[in-house]
Amino acid sequence: MEVDDKTIRILKELLAAQPQHSEARAHLAELYLQAEQPLRALQVLEGGGSVPDDEETSLLYARILAATDSNRAVELYLAIVQRNKACAAAHSGLAQIYKQRGLLEDAKRHYGIATVIDASYEDPAFEAWLVGKETPGEKAPTSPSTSETGRSPAEPDEDNDETNIPTVFRSDEEDLGERDQGDAILRELDLAWADTRLPKITFRDVGGMEEVKERIHMNIIYPFKNPQVFERYKRTPGGGILLYGPPGCGKTYTARATAGECEAHFIAVGITDVLSKWIGESEQRLHQLFAQARRMAPTVLFIDEVDALGLDRVDATRTSLATVTNQLLEELDGVRDSNEGVLVLAATNAPWNVDVALRRPGRFDRVIFIPPPDEKARAAIFEVHLRDLPTESMDFGRLARATRNFSGADIRAAIRNASDDAIYQELKSGKAGQIREGALLKTVKSMRPTTLEWLETARSYASYANIGGQYDDLVEYFRGRPK
Task: Tell me the CATH number of domain 375-445, given options 3.40.50.300, 3.40.50.720, 3.10.129.10, 1.10.8.60.
Answer: 1.10.8.60
- Average the pLDDT over 113-134 and give the result: 83
Q: Are residues 368 and 243 in contact, defined by beta-carbon separation less than 8 angstroms? A: yes
Asked whether residue 103 carries a pLDDT value surpassing 70, the answer given is yes
Please indicate whether residue 335 or residue 266 has the higher confidence score (pLDDT).
Answer: 266
Segment 64-80 mean pLDDT: 90
Q: What pLDDT does 362 receive?
A: 65
CATH fourth-level superfamily of 203-368:
P-loop containing nucleotide triphosphate hydrolases (3.40.50.300)
pLDDT over 90 (residue 93): yes
Domain range summary for the chain, segments of one domain joined by +: 5-133, 203-368, 375-445
- The mean per-residue pLDDT over the stretch 206-213 comes to 76
pLDDT band at 235 (very low <50, low <70, confident <90, very high): low
Checking if the pLDDT of 401 tops 90, the result is yes
Would you place residue 151 in the very low, low, confident or very high pLDDT band (cuts 50, 70, 90)?
very low
Question: From CA 187, how far away is CA 191, in angstroms rounded?
Answer: 6
- Average pLDDT for 339-349: 82
What are the pLDDT digits (tens) for 17-56?
888 788 888 888 888 888 888 898 888 888 877 787 788 8
**What's the pLDDT tens digit per position in 185-199?**
334 443 333 334 556
pTM beyond 0.85, yes or no: no
Report the candidate in 294, 249, 254 with the shortest Cα–Cα distance to residue 408: 249
- Nearest by Cα to 361 from 215, 239, 227: 239
Instruction: Tell me whether residue 432 is exposed, middle or buried, using C-beta atoms within 10 angstroms of its C-beta: 0 to 12, 13 to 18, 19 or more.
Output: exposed
Give the pLDDT score at 327: 81
Other beta carbons within 10 angstroms of residue 210's beta carbon come to: 12
Confidence tier at 4 by pLDDT (50, 70, 90): low
Query: Which range among 163-172, 219-228, 317-326 has the greatest average pLDDT?
Result: 219-228
pLDDT of residue 178: 32
Per cent of the chain over pLDDT 90 is 8
276 has pLDDT over 90: no
**Does the pLDDT at position 60 exceed 90?**
yes
d(CA 69, CA 64): 8
Summary mean pLDDT of the chain: 76
Which of these ranges, 28-32, 164-168, 178-182, 451-455, has the smallest mean pLDDT?
Answer: 164-168
Least confidently predicted of 193-202, 334-343, 466-475: 193-202
Q: Do domains 203-368 and 375-445 have the same CATH topology?
A: no
Q: What single-letter DSSP state applies at residue 74? A: H
Is residue 138 over pLDDT 70? no
pLDDT at 76: 92
Query: Rounded to the nearest 5°, which phi and psi values hold at 354?
Result: -80, 135
Cα 84 from chain centroid (whole Å): 6
Q: What pLDDT is recorded for position 74? A: 92
Please tell me the CATH code under which domain 5-133 is placed. Answer: 1.25.40.10
Return the pLDDT at 343. 82
Range from 274-288, 318-332, 333-347 carrying the lowest mean pLDDT: 318-332
Q: Reply yes or no on whether the pLDDT at 473 is more than 80.
A: yes
Q: What order of strands is seen across the sheet that includes strand 239-244?
A: 265-269, 299-303, 342-348, 239-244, 366-369
- pLDDT score of 140: 41
